[in-house]
Structure formats: structure tokens, C-alpha cells
Amino acid sequence: MQVLVLAAVLGAMAWLVGNVQSNLERQNINSGFGFLSERAGFGINQTLIAYTEDDSFGRVLAVGLLNTLLVSALGIFFATLLGFSLGVARLSRNWLISKIAMVYIEIFRNVPLLLQIMFWYFGVLRNLPSPRQAVSIGDAIFMSNRGFVVLWLEASAGAFWYGLAALGLVIGGIWLRRRAANAQITTGQATRVWRPLLGLAVALFGGAALMAGVPFALDVPHLKGFNFRGGLTVIPEFVALLLALSLYTAAFIAEIVRAGINSVSKGQREASAALGLPESVALRLVVIPQALRVIIPPLTSQYLNLTKNSSLAVAIAYPDIVSVLAGTTLSQVGQALEIIFITMMIYLSLSLLTSWAMNRYNQRMAFVGNNT
């Protein structure tokens, strides 16, 4: 029976695809994915990789995807940071801190996200002055209604050695911490790793400096014509979207964290206190690791929501994947079926990838404690 149903469904899908194709052909509508290699011909105002109007629609896809990833990754980072702080603050015994956290959570999670995006974009950032009257912080950061222009370091060829040094430092740090953890298990002695780490850093970056000298040139923003030239420009669309996504999702994460911490039985705290652990250490080493088991699955959903919600970018002209691919490219090429399909597949892949990573993290956390 199930085989029959499956066959019927597959057959229906195949027929549907064939029917769509023949209908498109009969209506003289282009189909296929050939457009991805055609010249795009329009400009995009935030590109993480090199892009000009001469590049292809395939390149547009990559630019849009990276912009989506950028705002999602930073959004997840800030939302998690703020959400955990708020969740802990919500449980604080200090009345004022707890109430402030509560008011924040209730406001931000109960106002629709699109309105919040509009609020930050049209309500707050548009009130900044024009570039010629930009607010400047130490001539390094200029704030105007064109965005934030920041003094930036332009990497030269020598930057490669510094990158190598940084990579070496990360690997060395991980190795040192692992060795210290092993030593604690075998000898019971906690050793601090920052001293050898500092030595390693000095050695590595000293070596890089010997190899390459000063690898950066200062890129100073200066007013020329209509706007600033030079420096790194953070467009206001990005700032508004990142703010809204982080603040909105943080409210949900705070509630998840609160629920997680509350789910750890009181006995665990009391046992920690009986062992003489200070409250902060008990929270960090006993309560939170157990709370994480409750926190991670709903937290994953929030990460997925944040990524998908970033598609609201189109309302304020942030060039994310929906805006440049399912927006501009769609109307230039006109192949709605293919482009919407690509866009859906991209979001699906992003979500599945996030779920997979979070599930792996969850599995590792699941063995940490026993809550009974």
C-alpha cells in the first residue's frame, strides 16, 4: 500500500514537472538555469566578494548568499550573547535587573519583526545627519544617514604571514588547553594556560613581523563630493537589519535560557554550595551545562528563525539573497519557477546545515550530566 502511494506521488510529481515544462514552452517562456551564466548588468551596494555589473547572475547569487550569511551569523552571535545575559538577568534576585529584563523581553518579542526593522531603519537611522554634517568619533568613525564609515586597515601582501601566525596561535591555544585539561584529570592540579599562550603569541607575531614588516596601510575615510571615499562603509540597511534581528531573537533566547536554568533541579545548586563552590562557578560549571540540554533544541529553532527572518531585508533594500536573486534577478530574467526554486533550496540547505551542527553540539552536551 505504502509503495503504491509513494509511486503515485512520484508519478504525479514527474507528471507535474513535465506539464509545467510543456506549458512554459507553449507560452514561450524561457526555462532552464542557463541564465546563471548571463551578464547581470546591475549594481549591488554591499558585496563581500568582488562584483561588477559585468559579472553573471551566478555571481549575484553568491553575493546575495554571502550577505544573507553575514547578517545571519552576526545576528546569531549577538542574539545569543544578549539572550543569555537577559535570561540570566531575568532570574536575578535583584528586583530591578529582573524587571528590566522582563520589560525588554515582553516588548521585543511582542512587536512584529518587520515593524522593528522599519523602526530602526526609517525611525532611527534616517535621523542621522547628511555626510557633510556627519557625526565623527575621533575622525575614525563617521556616522551619517549613508551609514557608518570606519577607519580601515588595508591588508598588503605581508598580511599572509600574520594570518599564518594567528592560525598557529589558535591551534597552539587549543593544544595547550587540552593538555591542561588532561593534566587536571590525571593529577587533579588545575594549571593556567595564559602564560605559555602569551609567549607563543609574542613568538609567532614577532616572527611574522620579521618576515613581513608592517602589513597594513591605513585607509582613512574622507569626504569627497557626495559621500565619504575610503574606509569601510557599513550601510544603514545592514545596521538596521542586524539590530532588529538580534534584539528580536534575543528576547526569545532569553526565555529559552530562563526555562533551561529553571529546569535544573534545586538539589544541584545546593550540592554545589555544599562543596563550597562560589555561586558564579556553580552557575558556570554545574547549572549551565545541564541547562544546555534543555536549551539547545529550542535554541536551534531560534537560529533557524533568525536566518529565515533575514529575508525581510527586502523591505529596507538590504541586498540579501531574496532581494538580489528573488527580486532583481527574477524581474530581469523573468523565470520565476527556477529562481524561487533556487532560493527555497538555499534556505532549506542553510537550515539543514544549522540543524545538523546544533544536533552534533547537542549530542556532545547530552552526556555531560544526569538530571535525576
Partner 1 sequence: MQMLRKLSAGLLLLAVASFASTPAAEAAGQTLEIVKKRGHLKCGVSQGLPGFSTPDNRGNWTGIDVDFCKAVAAAIFNDADKVKFTPLSAKERFTAIQSGEVDIIARNTTWSMHRDTALGVDFPVVNYYDGQGFMVRADLGVRSARDLDGATLCTNQGTTTELNAADYFRSNGMQYEIVAFEKADESVAAYNSGRCDAYTTDHSALYAQKLKLSDPKAHIVLPEVISKEPLGPLVRQGDAAWNDLVRWTHYATVAAEEFGVTSKNISEMKSSSNPSIRRLMGQDGSFGDNLGLSKQWAVHIIRAVGNYGEIFERNVGVKTPLGIKRGVNALWTKGGLQYAPPIR
Which segment (99-107, 316-324, 343-351, 357-365) binds partner 1 by CB under 8 A?
A: 316-324
Which residues, at least 6 apart from 362, have a Cβ–Cβ distance to it below 8 Å? 293, 296, 297, 300
Residue 135 β-bridge partners: 143
* Cβ proximity of 314 and 322 under 8 Å: yes
Q: What is the CA radius of gyration of the chain?
A: 26
Which segment (188-196, 244-252, 288-296, 314-322) binds partner 1 by CB under 8 A?
A: 314-322
Nearer to partner 1 (CB atom), residue 215 or residue 319? 319
262 touches partner 1 (CB under 8 A): no
Can you say how many angstroms the Cα of residue 39 is from the centroid of all Cα atoms in its chain?
30
Which segment (2-10, 95-103, 104-112, 156-164) binds partner 1 by CB under 8 A?
A: 2-10
259 touches partner 1 (CB under 8 A): no
Among 315, 342, 358, 365, binds partner 1 (CB under 8 A): 315
Q: How far is the CB of 318 from partner 1 (least distance, A)?
A: 9
C-alpha cell at 329: 534577478
Backbone angles phi, psi at 93, to 5 degrees: -80, -15
Q: What does 122-173 look like in DSSP terms, one character per residue?
A: IIIGGGSPPGGG-EEETTTEEEETTEEEE-EEEE-TTHHHHHHHHHHHHHHH
d(CA 247, CA 134): 26
Which segment (6-14, 65-73, 263-271, 355-363) binds partner 1 by CB under 8 A?
A: 6-14
Which segment (5-13, 102-110, 168-176, 297-305) binds partner 1 by CB under 8 A?
A: 5-13
How many binding residues for partner 1 (CB under 8 A)? 49
220 touches partner 1 (CB under 8 A): no
Among 32, 34, 43, 267, binds partner 1 (CB under 8 A): 43
End-to-end CA separation in angstroms for the chain: 44
19 touches partner 1 (CB under 8 A): yes
Q: Which amino acid is at 358?
A: M
Which segment (37-45, 106-114, 162-170, 259-267) binds partner 1 by CB under 8 A?
A: 37-45
87 touches partner 1 (CB under 8 A): no
332 touches partner 1 (CB under 8 A): yes
Dihedral sign for Cα atoms in the order 75, 76, 81, 82: positive
67 touches partner 1 (CB under 8 A): no
Nearer to partner 1 (CB atom), residue 151 or residue 314? 314
Which whole-number Å values give the CA distances from 339 to 13, 29, 63, 331, in the listed order? Answer: 19, 14, 15, 10
Q: How far is the CB of 115 from partner 1 (least distance, A)?
A: 14
Q: Where are the alpha helices (DSSP H) in 324-335?
A: 330-333
Residue 137 β-bridge partners: 141
328 touches partner 1 (CB under 8 A): yes
68 touches partner 1 (CB under 8 A): no
* Cβ proximity of 23 and 337 under 8 Å: no
Give the H/E segment covering residue 216: strand 216-219
342 touches partner 1 (CB under 8 A): no
Nearer to partner 1 (CB atom), residue 15 or residue 175? 15
Binding to partner 1 in span 116-175, by CB under 8 A? 122, 126, 130, 145-146
* Cβ proximity of 67 and 58 under 8 Å: no
Q: Which residues bind partner 1 (CB under 8 A)?
A: 1, 5, 8-9, 12, 15-16, 19-20, 23-24, 26-30, 41-45, 53, 122, 126, 130, 145-146, 224-227, 229, 235-237, 314-317, 319, 323, 327-328, 330-334, 336
